[in-house]
């Protein structure tokens, strides 16, 4: 990004840009951790986990699992309502 364009950013744009950069770094860390986990498991460490390399991401994945579970529950409820409406 050219300097002139950077200085024209609004605070909201700047903070969003920082947010996106942080998300990109987390994705890259996660990919690296997964690769290292696979290599360690191939070499015989069957208990290797992503958290061994990036423990700071453990809470993020737990939040993601909770969000996915909530979406699944909502979808099941929606399907149940649709089936009940057809009867």
Q: What mean pLDDT comes out for the span 68-80?
A: 84
| pLDDT at site 52 | 80
Q: Encoding tokens for residue 28?
A: 């890259």
Residues 7, 41 share a domain:
yes
Q: Encoding tokens for residue 41?
A: 């498991």
Residues 62, 41 share a domain:
no
| Whole-angstrom distance, CA of residue 12 vs CA of residue 73 | 34
**Residues 43, 36: contact at Cβ < 8 Å?**
no
Residues 47, 23 share a domain:
yes
| Whole-angstrom distance, CA of residue 42 vs CA of residue 85 | 51
Number of domains in the chain: 2
Residues 81, 61 share a domain:
yes
Q: Which residues does 34 contact at the CB level (< 8 Å), separation at least 6?
A: 50
Residues 4, 45 share a domain:
yes
Structure confidence by residue, pLDDT tens digits, 11-61: 999 999 999 999 899 889 888 988 998 999 899 988 888 778 888 777 766
| pLDDT at site 16 | 94
Global confidence as pTM = 0.55
Residues 60, 44 share a domain:
no
Q: How many helices (H) and strands (E) does the chain have?
A: 3, 0
Angle at 37 between CA 35 and CA 39, to 5 degrees: 70
Domain limits for position 35: 1-53
| pLDDT at site 50 | 78
Residues 30, 42 share a domain:
yes
Q: What mean pLDDT comes out for the span 72-86?
A: 80
| pLDDT at site 15 | 94
Residues 60, 47 share a domain:
no
- Answer yes or no: is pLDDT of 62 > 70: no
């Amino acid at each position: 990004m050219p300097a002139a364009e950077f200085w024209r950013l609004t605070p909201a744009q700047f903070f969003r840009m920082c947010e996106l950069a942080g998300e990109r770094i987390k994705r890259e860390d996660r990919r690296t951790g997964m690769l290292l986990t696979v290599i360690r498991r191939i070499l015989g460490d069957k208990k290797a986990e992503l958290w061994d390399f990036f423990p700071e991401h453990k809470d993020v994945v737990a939040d993601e699992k909770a969000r996915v579970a909530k979406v699944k529950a909502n979808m099941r409820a929606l399907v149940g309502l649709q089936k009940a409406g057809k009867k």
